[in-house]
Amino acid sequence: MRMGLERGGWKINFANDIDEGKLKMYRDHFQDADGHFVLGDIHQLSAKNLPSASLATASFPCNDLSLAGARAGLKGTQSSAYWGFTKLLEDLGSRKPSLVLLENVTGFLTSNGGKDFHAALTELNRLGYSVDTFILDAAWFVAQSRQRLFVVGTLKEPDSDFAVEETPGFYEDDLRPSALAAFIFAHPEIEWNIRRLPAISRRPSGLDEILDDAPSDSPEWWAAERVDYLLNQMSPRHRAIADEMIAGKSYRYGTVFRRVRNGRSMAELRTDGIAGCLRTPRGGSGRQILFKGGRHKCFVRLLNGRECARLMGAPNFVLNVPLNQALFGFGDAVCVPVIEWIALNYLNPALDEIATDKKLVRATA
């Protein structure tokens, strides 16, 4: 988040997370961490100790919102961190930031039948923010499939009145697909402030561009027995794709995730030049596997930390932690160029408009 915002001209003055491993990763990369990073539970923070800011961002835990989780929603032990964030906003009083940016998985939209998303948005309304929402996929910027739902809250001036235009077609586009557009249209009671956003020039996929060229005898590649076990975990359709790659005249690359299907662990191969979404590994699972096939051979290994950093749009991120910790940090992070795009195309223009409006108010007062 910090790297993306800084590319858009922003400067950080406060950061918080409860995980010590993430603090280490942050401190290794950002030398000024000790000046503004507070380690601890957001519910225990006090607004009086927070600096004033124009923007507050929150990427609260998705565990209770995602389809892969138990779907406990905003009442879950981890995703309930959202209420700690909004409590701080409320306690800031007249120092509330002009803009709020939320980020989470797209499952947030459907969690508890949409009730969690509705509750989160109306809470921002209660705090004085009109809201907008859209979905961006990291695959439009880097070689990683990573759809994320974003919400922008804009602090309203006293007596201002935001309303949604009564034109259903206005909402639906690449950034507001049908399900999200339908939610907006179905909830006129929410104080919306829908902003027209420019189309995104999507980059071509290029998984091979982020890979390190490990020699064929590198210990990173799995032993033949382990490779055979992975191949045997594939469905007939995925195995046929793997065999086609192996029989090819040149090497091709794909990524593999293990998923439980009907009570059985299955290996699913993706070969469209885009890696699957980086996830936080828990209990050894969730690590993404690289599959290299061609010239009647195949090689298999885990994606390394540097490759994952590239998939997050942070190729030069300083990494001094073990692979699982790097994956945990990146799996919970946001894609850097996605945030940069939001900063340049949404946050900066919105803040400029807010500043202009305030000058007009002062001039006419």
| pLDDT value of residue 171 | 77
| pLDDT value of residue 311 | 97
Mean pLDDT of residues grouped by 10 in the chain (365 residues)? 98 96 96 94 95 94 53 57 94 97 94 92 97 97 97 82 50 92 95 94 90 94 97 97 98 93 91 93 74 98 96 97 92 96 98 83 48
H-run or E-run covering 363? helix 348-364
| pLDDT value of residue 230 | 97
| pLDDT value of residue 203 | 86
The DSSP secondary structure of 139-206, one letter per residue, reads: GGTSSB--EEEEEEEEEPPTT------S-HHHH-SSSS-HHHHHHHHH-TTS-B-----PPP-PPPP-
* Residue among 260, 275, 131 at smallest CA distance from 194: 131
| pLDDT value of residue 77 | 54
Q: Where in the chain is the domain with CATH 3.40.50.150?
A: 2-202+330-364
| pLDDT value of residue 30 | 96
| pLDDT value of residue 166 | 47
| pLDDT value of residue 360 | 55
Residue 250 and residue 296 in contact, taking contact as beta carbons nearer than 8 Å? no
Range 2-202+330-364 has CATH code 3.40.50.300: no
CB contact burial 59-70 (16+ within 10 A = b; e otherwise): bbbbbbbbeebe
* Residue among 295, 342, 292 at smallest CA distance from 137: 342
Q: Is the dihedral of CA 338, 79, 45, 126 positive or negative?
A: positive
